[in-house]
């Protein structure tokens, strides 16, 4: 049972560190070969060497998925190098924390967030889709956020890109599910990664570990559920479906208060 993925090939983006690198290790322990995609080739090579030393199989593909030409070249290499590709995990992402009122002259924040979170993931998925259809099977994993299930402030660019990705995924399965295409959307809570660490106040916030987040990706590949979500995320989504105005208004002061607490905790104390 532990080696249920033996013989499978899985493409994984954002694989140079954090959740992606740990997920790659878990998947190779189950017998899969992983194709590691990210921008930083040196870190990808380090992750691949670590997997190889443990007896796993990992292949390195350095790529900037926001570059259409570079992405097309890597997709061609993947299809040439691997006769069979069983799944793709769209894990690469970027986040920006900024109020909408402070973004009126920063349209580029939205554009660059969409470039990797949405267009990069869709471009890779579309590139692999013909192989999936030819095989009669293929699984797509989309890393999303619990924050798309609940109205939170300050992350409009990030959350809009993830909401778009979720809609694409639903349409993909609606159209191609009968042809053997399946998908899992993962609604991660905040995870302690380099990306979340760029926001100082979140150093004081309890977060999911990268190891646990990677196990959610492992579950997505092995069990192929339609979605993976926390209990809090699921409850929030139900509440938003039934009383969205009340939930949005009620949470506004909660998030304001939480930001004050985190800001206070993140300040260095005098000794």
Q: How far apart are CA 103 and CA 160, in angstroms?
A: 14
Residue among 118, 121, 14, 9 at smallest CA distance from 57: 9
Element containing residue 215 per DSSP (H, E): helix 210-223
How far apart, in Å, are the Cα atoms of 186 and each of 29, 47, 178, 229?
A: 21, 23, 22, 6
SS3 per residue for 135-168: HCCEEEEEEEEHHHCCCCCCCHHHHHHHHHHHHH
Is 158 a known active-site residue? Answer: yes
What are the backbone dihedrals phi and psi of residue 267, each rounded to the nearest 5 degrees, phi first? -75, 135
* 80-116 b/e (C-beta count within 10 Å ≥ 16 → b): eebeebbbbbbbbbbbbeeeeeeeeeeeebbebbbbb
Catalytic, out of 110, 118, 158, 202: 158
Any residues with CB less than 8 A from the CB of 56 and at least 6 apart, and which? Answer: 25, 28, 29, 33, 34
Q: How far apart are CA 163 and CA 161, in angstroms?
A: 6
Residue 77 buriedness (CB in 10 A; 0-12 / 13-18 / 19+): middle
Residue among 164, 144, 138, 33 at smallest CA distance from 90: 144
Strands (E), 178-246: 181-188, 227-229
Residues belonging to the active site = 158
């Amino acid at each position: 049972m532990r080696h249920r993925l033996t013989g499978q090939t899985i493409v994984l983006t954002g694989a140079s560190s954090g959740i992606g690198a740990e997920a790659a290790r878990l998947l190779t322990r189950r017998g899969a070969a992983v194709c590691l995609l990210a921008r930083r080739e040196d870190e990808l090579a380090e992750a691949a060497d670590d997997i190889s030393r443990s007896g796993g199989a990992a292949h390195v593909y350095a790529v900037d998925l926001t570059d259409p030409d570079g992405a097309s070249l890597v997709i061609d290499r993947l299809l040439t190098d691997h006769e069979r590709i069983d799944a793709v995990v769209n894990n690469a992402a970027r986040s920006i924390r900024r109020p909408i009122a402070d973004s009126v002259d920063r349209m580029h924040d939205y554009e660059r967030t969409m470039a990797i979170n949405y267009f990069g993931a869709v471009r890779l998925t579309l590139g692999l889709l013909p192989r999936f259809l030819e095989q009669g099977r293929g699984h797509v994993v989309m890393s999303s956020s619990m924050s798309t299930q609940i109205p939170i402030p300050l992350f409009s660019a990030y959350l809009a890109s993830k909401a778009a990705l979720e809609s694409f995924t639903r349409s993909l399965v609606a159209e191609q599910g009968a042809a053997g295409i399946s998908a899992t959307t993962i609604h991660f809570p905040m995870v302690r990664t380099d990306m979340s660490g760029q926001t100082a106040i979140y150093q004081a916030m309890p977060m999911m570990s990268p190891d646990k987040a990677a196990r959610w990706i492992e579950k997505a590949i092995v069990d192929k559920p339609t979605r993976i979500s926390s209990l809090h995320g699921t409850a929030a989504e139900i509440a938003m479906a039934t009383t969205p105005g009340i939930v949005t208004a009620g949470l506004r002061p909660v998030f304001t208060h939480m930001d004050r607490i985190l800001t206070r905790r993140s300040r260095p104390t005098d000794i």
